[in-house]
Structure 1
Amino acid sequence: MGNWFDKEPPPPVVLVPPLFDFPPIAARTRMLQSSYNMLFGKLALKCLFEDYFEEARHFSTIIMLKPIDDPHVDIMATVSGPLDHKPEEKIAGNALFRWQSDVDDPHTFMDLFVSNSDHVLQMRSCAYYPRYGFGAFGILPLLSKKRVTAEDYGVMGLRYGSGKLSAGVTIMPYAIKDELPKSAWLVSKLGRFTVGVQYEPQYGSKDDMNYKNLLNWSCAIGYGVGSGSPLSPSFNFGLELAKSSQFIASFYQHVVVQRRVKNPLEENEVVGITNYIDVGFELQTRMDDTKTSNNIPDSTFQVAASWQANKNFMLKGKMGPLSSSLALALKSWWKPSFTFSISATRDRISRTTAYGFGLRVENLREASYERADPNFVMLTPNKEHLAEGIVWKIGKRPMLQSDVNAGNFESLPKELRPQGIIL
């Protein structure tokens, strides 16, 4: 009986919610893309600047589901269009049926894309072998309303990827000799620095289809800190000279903070909750003397920030020289989960405010609150603290910050792990 009365209270813990969208949906098809277009913080900035910012006076609906009996397949359908029906605008509908060989590894897959746009039916496939680092991929439009360029007949590519190097080339099988290759890239990671170069010829005249034309080349350098896990703060700064005509400077920072929580629905040992704050900035300036229309400025910038207070609430905002936007997203982690978003866009020129709405239904990513020791973010644990964490026997042992710093993510759900070691 003495064990019942002398039972020690559970240790204090903090809640660690999952991110709304991690890993990003775009990361599932990154093997079809040039690594140059995904690194240097570009994927994180794209999600920060675009996700949940619905187009003014428009709506979007995304459904992402997979069967319970076969997690290797899933389907994603999107419907978007104007809130007020206009003859010149039509409702766009797309559907993507996907199969991947490994549930936890999205790099080998095949999907079928159907749409009411130009490419009515398109097949994409990728095979990647982590042991050797080599992969092959292809994009084949099976049915199309019109085939004008060689790209409309398909694109194929080869790539090599490791933790320090990524190289690849894409070709169009039906292209003429002067249109080969379609693109080629080389990216290398040197410590915290990442450098890359990409060749992407501009088709228009034969004078542009050579390696000596600087307009066909882009180069970038980036500095990054962090493991890529939502539990680890990260920082990325990048400089890019695109097409030898546009200079782009950007930075992205992911911050993990801890605040106190007083929720009567939680257990007494819950003393705090982890929040995620993301900040990004991008500046684009033209370097050539090409004359543009009055609607396209020679230099532009945008800055954005987001705050996820818990697993159900996120607030985002972004600002540019022409407009400012604010977005609110509410997510329920049911099975499937539902996410409702509303965004307001303020046009500085017309001084009008317009709204957009979005709805997402998903069961691709399953996540729940994880528990961490109370010093997970605020303090650095010492040896005595680590010893206490090992001998805890009441309830589930919380995560320790030392494990995350050491790169030990095996005990965490994949929604909280880094995206992978492939550059």
Structure 2
Amino acid sequence: MGNWFSLNEPPPPMVLVPPLFDFPPLAARTRALESSYNVLFGKLALRCLFEDYFEQARHFSTRIMLKPIDDPHVDLIASVSGPLDHKPEENIVGNALFRWQSDVYDPHTFMEVFVSNTDPVLLMRSSAYYPKYGFGAFGFAPLLLKKRLSSEDYGVMGLRYGSSNLSIGATLMPFSLGDEFPKSAWLVSKVGRLTAGVQYEPQFGTKDGTRYKNLANWSCAIGYGLGSGSLLSPSFNFCLEFAKSSQFIASFYQHVVVQRRVKNPLEEKEVVGITNYIDFGFELQTRVDDDKTSSNTTDSTFQVGASWQANKNFLLKGKAGPLSSSIALAFKSWWKPSFTFSISATRDRMVGRTAYGFGIRVDNIREASYERADPNFVMLTPNKEHLAEGIHWKIGKRPVLQSDVDSGNFDGIPRELRPMGKIL
């Protein structure tokens, strides 16, 4: 009798966990070509927060990202952008990127061919990384250019070593005369929640060794971060940077996972809430030297931005600075391929005018592995409807407990919601 009653018990209340709009971000696919100093300290997250879906005023952009069904190792990204009103000084820019990736789930080993109607006309980029040993090599070579003005226009190569607590690497230009070695070098280390790094980019000084002594060629940063790296868990990152002995940069980025109640007649009755993703970022840049290169250069600038993903279909973003403010709204349909339409409005306070931009994206490269009613999560905040604390994430063959997520066990969680990897 007890078993019969237990079988007829109503299911526990559930909270929907929708997929994120764009994860992993496209910028993360090419992070193996960049210095770790340029993507850590919350810089990659801030770049996505302040740039994605904010179209240039009075401009449009279209992007098509496709992957063949028969071969998931290759994909193609084509984009066209330009002014809404035709101007002789502005041209429509079109480019395409063909990519071959060795491992479907590992973006660090790949080869890309980039074509465009602007410089560079034809560019080849490649990266090879071996996680078992931590060593990697990368490079890019402009094959067709209208003009080659520097050694960098003939190609750049780089070597790196990475682990969960250390990243070190350098880039060089093999066709330079030797007085530009290295082109850049970096060292980043993580101890607990602290991350510190230094980067060398020679731009000042002669080739007799004074470049290494010139502080204008060096940048250093220190950051404090909280969170597991999974998008299901809140995270926080605060960074202080002293760049090229002339600029002080302070920034922080916070990712918040909240749950709100929802009464949707289209959902099952046990669905009582939905998970939302809220991101907030701030960046302040201040000059600390007395060099006035231009009377139009401001001594200090800042920008603050926030985004709110209400469900799997709607994303609202906004940012503000001393000269302008922008707001963006994006709608996404999870067809195969997915379709995203975005509109942004920019208020220029210098001229007192508001202008609009539009964007269209078609994407089947980043497919969500779970749909609207697939991953179910109980309410984190105890209430009268909270009948089974810590249960139900039904993903795959076994339920995932909230305690598993808190302890860092992400085995049963969709790949998009896991940490991006154990590589610093």
- TM-score, length-scaled by structure 2: 0.94
Distance apart, 1:222 and its partner CA: 0.2
* C-alpha contact (below 8 Å) 1:372/1:400 kept by paired residues: no
Equivalent residue, structure 2, for 1:201: 202
Q: Could you report, residue by residue, the CA deviation over 1:204-255 in whole angstroms, capped at 9, with x for unpaired residues?
A: 8658962001000000000000112110100000000011110000000000
Q: Check 1:13–1:132 CA distance in 2 against 1; reply closer, same or farther (3 A cut).
A: same
Q: What SS does structure 1 have at the residue aligned with 2:121?
A: strand
Q: Could you report, residue by residue, the CA deviation over 1:365-408 in whole angstroms, capped at 9, with x for unpaired residues?
A: 11123433323x3359xxx9578669x9xx98654321211222
Q: What SS does structure 2 have at the residue aligned with 1:131?
A: coil
Equivalent residue, structure 2, for 1:159: 160
Q: Which moved more, 1:283-292 or 1:239-248?
A: 283-292
Equivalent residue, structure 2, for 1:378: 381
1:38 aligns with 2:42: no
Q: Check 1:118–1:349 CA distance in 2 against 1; reply closer, same or farther (3 A cut).
A: same
* C-alpha contact (below 8 Å) 1:77/1:93 kept by paired residues: yes
Q: Could you report, residue by residue, the CA deviation over 1:277-315 in whole angstroms, capped at 9, with x for unpaired residues?
A: 100000000111111334321100000001000010010
Q: Check 1:6–1:111 CA distance in 2 against 1; reply closer, same or farther (3 A cut).
A: closer
Q: Could you report, residue by residue, the CA deviation over 1:17-43 in whole angstroms, capped at 9, with x for unpaired residues?
A: 111111111001100000000000000
* C-alpha contact (below 8 Å) 1:179/1:209 kept by paired residues: no
Distance apart, 1:79 and its partner CA: 0.7
Distance apart, 1:126 and its partner CA: 0.5
1:47 aligns with 2:48: yes
Equivalent residue, structure 2, for 1:263: 264
Equivalent residue, structure 2, for 1:171: 172
Equivalent residue, structure 2, for 1:348: 349
Pairing 1:14-413 to 2, within 5 Å after superposition: 14-202=15-203, 210-367=211-368, 368-369=371-372, 370-375=374-379, 377-378=380-381, 385=388, 399-413=400-414
Distance apart, 1:148 and its partner CA: 1.1
Q: Could you report, residue by residue, the CA deviation over 1:84-103 in whole angstroms, capped at 9, with x for unpaired residues?
A: 01000001111100001110
Distance apart, 1:143 and its partner CA: 1.2
Q: What SS does structure 2 have at the residue aligned with 1:256?
A: strand
Q: What SS does structure 1 have at the residue aligned with 2:291?
A: coil
Q: Check 1:388–1:308 CA distance in 2 against 1; reply closer, same or farther (3 A cut).
A: closer
Q: What SS does structure 2 have at the residue aligned with 1:189?
A: strand
Code of the aligned partner of 1:29: T
Q: Distance in 1 between matches of 2:204 and 2:122?
A: 25
Q: Distance in 1 between matches of 2:357 and 2:195?
A: 37
Equivalent residue, structure 2, for 1:416: 417
Q: Distance in 2 between matches of 1:64 and 1:388?
A: 37
Across the aligned residues of Structure 1 and Structure 2, the Cα RMSD in angstroms comes to 2.3
**Structure 1 unaligned blocks of 5 or more:** none
Q: Distance in 1 between matches of 2:85 and 2:262?
A: 42
* C-alpha contact (below 8 Å) 1:389/1:397 kept by paired residues: no
* C-alpha contact (below 8 Å) 1:65/1:76 kept by paired residues: yes
Q: Distance in 1 between matches of 2:89 and 2:210?
A: 37
Q: Distance in 2 between matches of 1:239 and 1:203?
A: 23
Distance apart, 1:7 and its partner CA: 2.6
- TM-score, length-scaled by structure 1: 0.94
Q: Could you report, residue by residue, the CA deviation over 1:147-178 in whole angstroms, capped at 9, with x for unpaired residues?
A: 11000000000000000000000000011221
Identity %: 75
Q: Distance in 2 between matches of 1:5 and 1:413?
A: 30
Q: Distance in 1 between matches of 2:111 and 2:17?
A: 34
Count of matched residue pairs = 417
Code of the aligned partner of 1:145: K
Distance apart, 1:10 and its partner CA: 2.1
Q: Could you report, residue by residue, the CA deviation over 1:56-111 in whole angstroms, capped at 9, with x for unpaired residues?
A: 00011111110001000000011110000100000111110000111011110001
Distance apart, 1:322 and its partner CA: 0.3
Q: Distance in 1 between matches of 2:305 and 2:399?
A: 33
1:13 aligns with 2:21: no
Q: Check 1:209–1:327 CA distance in 2 against 1; reply closer, same or farther (3 A cut).
A: farther
Q: Could you report, residue by residue, the CA deviation over 1:316-340 in whole angstroms, capped at 9, with x for unpaired residues?
A: 0000000000100000110000110
* C-alpha contact (below 8 Å) 2:204/2:211 kept by paired residues: no
* C-alpha contact (below 8 Å) 1:52/1:329 kept by paired residues: yes
Code of the aligned partner of 1:261: V
Q: Which moved more, 1:22-31 or 1:287-296?
A: 287-296
Q: Distance in 2 between matches of 1:205 and 1:84?
A: 47
